[in-house]
């Protein structure tokens, strides 16, 4: 907060979100939108779709096959949101039957390495995290003992 007060006192043009740390370089008036963007790109389905779209265009059914567990509703919703943010493009071809392909935009390709790294990290540490969760759950008192 010290940096925020200092900027106000000196008539500085921008008020920063935090005095120190990674948020210190972010103007306070942009912080809410940045949180929205991080929420979108940090979503599990968004990360997985960005990871699988990097090699090239895929059709809807191809995406469903490569992202196990995603429902049609979530796939449609996530693709729509990624399109709105300019991370994925949708191309419809005037054919019978109609063909639609999805591909990463240059902006989306910029996230590919990050998405792939996060997915890889989660896969590499799956067992360790599962063990930690089980250990934490067994250490919690039972509901009846809390009284």
How far apart are the C-alpha atoms of 19 and 3, rounded to whole Å?
5
Q: Provide the CATH topology of domain 44-138.
A: Arc Repressor Mutant, subunit A (1.10.10)
Give 95's strand partners.
Answer: none
Average predicted confidence (pLDDT) for the chain: 86
In the chain, what percentage of residues exceed pLDDT 90?
59
Least confident piece of the model among 20-24, 80-84, 114-118, 126-130: 20-24
pLDDT tens for 2-57 read 444 444 444 555 687 777 888 888 888 888 888 888 888 889 999 999 999 999 99
How far apart are the C-alpha atoms of 32 and 14, rounded to whole Å?
15
Structure tokens at 2: 């010290």
How far apart are the C-alpha atoms of 72 and 70, rounded to whole Å?
7
DSSP notation for 50-77: HHHHTTS-EEHHHHHHHSTT--HHHHHH
pLDDT mean over 65-82? 96
Higher pLDDT, 2 or 120: 120
Q: CATH 1.10.10.10 region(s) of the chain?
A: 44-138
Q: What is the pLDDT of residue 8?
A: 46
Q: What is the pLDDT of residue 31?
A: 87
Among residues 19, 14, 24, 16, which one has the least CA distance to residue 2? 19
């Amino acid at each position: 907060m010290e940096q925020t007060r200092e900027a106000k006192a000196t008539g500085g043009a921008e008020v920063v979100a935090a005095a120190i740390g990674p948020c210190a370089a972010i103007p306070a008036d942009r912080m809410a939108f940045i949180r929205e963007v991080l929420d979108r790109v940090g979503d599990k389905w968004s990360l997985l779709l960005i990871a699988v779209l990097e090699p090239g265009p895929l059709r809807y059914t191809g995406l469903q096959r490569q992202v196990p567990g995603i429902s049609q509703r979530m796939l449609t919703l996530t693709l729509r949101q990624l399109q709105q943010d300019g991370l994925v493009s949708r191309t419809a071809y005037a054919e019978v039957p109609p063909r639609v392909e999805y591909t990463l935009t240059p902006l989306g390709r910029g996230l590919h390495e990050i998405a792939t790294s996060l997915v890889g990290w989660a896969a590499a540490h799956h067992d360790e995290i599962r063990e930690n969760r089980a250990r934490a759950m067994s250490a919690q008192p039972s509901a009846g003992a809390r009284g």
